[in-house]
Structure 1
């Protein structure tokens, strides 16, 4: 059993805005809850710098949200009010082996910076990943978590996966909302640049895509190519139903040759 040699219960408030339908809402989830910090190797409080540093298996916890990292840095400022002096943490940095968890969601990476005033978290390093009960979103570059917009933005070889359906792009923006059980889930995915959609039967590429999770329909634009087995269809835009495997392509408007093109290969018969 690991014994904590240092702990600090911060009766500090966190700058926060309006609560939105995200579960790892460190800034806007429980506006009256304090932030508690624990560490195995000690906590350093630099009052002149208005900085608290926790090192060694450091943990920051607020309500149902927990941040684990090798080192945590909390930046704050003092603010006078009618109720007395108030200390506001405006920035939290997590360094090394970062894991942020709530009751239903987990985000992982090597580094995380939480702007608590703007309610934005940016995670990087180690292919940052956000996992919910149904969805996994990851990227080679950064993973941004916007509490007040209820969305996650993955940049750099980004991927969104659900039920065997995979969407890849340079940038993916996943929009969340509450389901009937009160849990946050992705209801729309916007994909930009080098878009690829992979299912069990199709491989679709385009410049831009919008995927409605509930309907299963992806609307694609720009150099659309649909591959199914050895068959290929090309067009300027398309709607692809990932549930029914029905695809509709549209031609390029305003060009001399605006036809949709397709290559359908005949079935090869074996020689007896």
Structure 2
């Protein structure tokens, strides 16, 4: 990400934009004023939408983000979203041991953390990449999900949900089991790699192996230049919401599960009422088998 003197120091981005209003061109000032007055809307906007609201061109929006020291509009949205959710209150590191809050106070902080993570996810996910992922999964013959540690929770959830849709789905925590399954993949199959860092060795090795067989690689990973991001055919980028040292994969797990839910619901929507009939049939059988 590019940075300039504008983003130097401890002052937040909105504060620096406000302070620098006088140095902007007429067009840049129109964008800046809209951003300052409607900051909470920006993380979910496209360059086209912001351009229309500020009555400027899309190219002007791109130039504005660079003039304030950000390499892209996408990065600008994420930085802005991070400010809006007030990240300094997050309980994503060992600082929670330094203050003895009540259980309810900690509950409130957890809610705040997860809500903030979802807000950031709106800015990090690319609409075109999400649509491409849904289309790819919709036409898949076979889908493999894999993640380790906290990301394994999202992989297991995906395995359960996509199996209910009638797909041939595989997930197993054992690396060697997955290694034995991948040679049977082809260009009609999809490997979904889930990793917060995008650097987990087991995930990377399986992802690369799946690509060698011709499978499409979808990566659910943080927005960065990680090896997994570079390898992926489709990138579903999650925001960087956790520090290197953390008490648990709280916010990252929440964003991963949300991406899985979005993919699942999108496929349900594409399948229409027919899938609901299948669900109802399964439910009726489950009711009969209750003991």
Larger Rg: 1
Highest relative contact order (Cα 8 Å, sep 6+), 1 or 2? 2
How high is the TM-score relative to the length of structure 1? Answer: 0.25
Decide which structure has greater strand share. 1
How high is the TM-score relative to the length of structure 2? Answer: 0.24
Decide which structure has greater helix share. 2
